[in-house]
Amino acid sequence: MSQHRVIVIGGGIAGASAAFALARRGAAVTVVDSASAGQATAAGAGIVSPWASTVEGPCYELYAAGAAYYPQVVELLAEAGAGRTGYRRTGALLVSADPGRLAEAQARVEARARTAGGAVGEVRRIGNDDVRALFPPLAPDLEGVHITGGARVDGRTMRDALLAGAARHGAVRVRGRARLRPRPNGTPQVEVALAGAGGGFDVLEADDVVVASGAWANELLEPVGARVPVEPQRGQITHLRLDGVDTGAWPSVHPLSHHYLVAFDDSRVAVGATRETGSGFDARVTARGQWQVLSDALRIAPGLAEATFIETRVGLRPLAETGLPVVGALPGVAGLHVVAGFGAAGLTMGPFAGEALARSILEAAVPAEIAAFAPIAP
């Protein structure tokens, strides 16, 4: 019996996760990736701590399932010999100078912890001395809620591990820009404008095609007359270095707002991020964005003022216009599937969503975890 052939268009966290899940189940997988500037995965800070989020309903359930799935996918990648993942459970720290807001956030986390199967860990209120012991640059007026189950992941490292794991299971990677070729009553072909000195085109066929191209999803779907409610949202994230400081065990910091601080192992702290809806596909670093990111960061962590500037990364998040991501088979087009629309939560949701979509494709049954996110017929 021949292998089930699947083409995955997009090599970000969602596409790489789907490719790994499909390949380890025995599918013949081809990943087509254009490595476009602005890929959200390459810029994302990678906070894996959904429990304080104000998101509710199916979206929160997917968010929490994504966090709970991380230890499992990291173990699967280790078994595949895929190398480092950049995932580490360092805890999360909610901070505020307003005791009432902290109490509200703590109550929300504790309520969710009761159904999270231990993923949340310990949740406790702490004063400023303990806050600054955990993350020394923070301001002296902040108190906090410490969540020991919080984690962080380096998006680039995790993406590369997933693609390496898929390759260990036989997946092939093609670098180039993909375009769908519709076929009556059949799975679309994928035309690839090949990258590199030779250039040229190739046409690929498969039993199923997964569009995992993030903010570019609708550009891919246009030739088949389809659209999903996803648009680009620019996020600017600045990376700083505290030379000579061991930041590897510092928790991620959430000031109950849109911005955050995430420490990594190499004396590096990522601070961000802007949420620039309506940005289009403009992946520039802007003066306004840089000012906003640094102003927000230094307001809660003045101890970062003398940190060394490394770089600012820009990601074009696939923002769901409805507030819900899109995961599943596209109505009216045989064999075509979409996984997109995770917004700022892509690095948390992506691995679990890719796993669930792989099961949906190969088992011909939609897992309950993604049923609420099925694409809607136009």
Q: Does residue 377 surpass a pLDDT of 80?
A: no
pLDDT, mean over the chain: 94
49 belongs to a structural domain: no
Given this model, what pLDDT does residue 211 score? 98
Q: How far apart, in whole angstroms, are the C-alpha atoms of residue 73 and residue 85?
A: 10
Please check whether residues 235 and 312 belong to one and the same domain.
yes
Looking at residue 364, its pLDDT comes to 85
Q: Do 303 and 336 have their domain in common?
A: no
User: Residue 157 burial by CB count (10 A; 0-12/13-18/19+): exposed, middle or buried?
Assistant: middle
CA 54, 58, 59, 62 dihedral sign is: positive
One domain for residues 192 and 293: no
The verdict on 282 and 139 lying in the same domain is yes
Contacts for 303-306: CB closer than 8 Å, 24+ residues apart = 303/136, 303/137, 303/138, 304/137, 304/240, 304/242, 304/261, 304/269, 304/271
Q: How far apart are CA 338 and CA 15, in angstroms?
A: 10
The predicted model gives 83-109 an average pLDDT of 96
Q: How many residues are listed for the chain in this entry? A: 378
Q: How confident is the model at residue 32 (pLDDT cuts 50, 70, 90)?
A: very high
| Mean of pLDDT values over 124-143 | 97
Residue 65, pLDDT > 60, answer: yes
One domain for residues 251 and 366: no
User: Residue 278: how many CB atoms within 10 A of its CB?
Assistant: 10
Parent domain of 248: 89-150+231-319
Residue at 80 is within a domain: no
DSSP H helices in 201-248: 217-221
Non-local (6+) Cβ contacts of 129 within 8 A are none
Residue 367 lies in a domain: yes
The number of distinct structural domains making up the chain is 2
The neighbouring-strand residues paired with 28 are 5
**What single-letter DSSP state applies at residue 365?**
S
User: Could you tell me if 225 and 23 are in contact, meaning their C-beta atoms sit under 8 angstroms apart?
Assistant: no
User: Which pLDDT tens digit goes with each residue over 295-343?
Assistant: 999 999 999 999 999 999 999 999 999 999 999 999 999 999 999 999 9
Average pLDDT over residues 180-205: 87
Residue 156: strand, helix, or coil: helix
Residues 278 and 289 both lie in one domain: yes
In a domain, 74, yes or no: no
- Single pTM value for the model: 0.95
- The verdict on 335 and 282 lying in the same domain is no
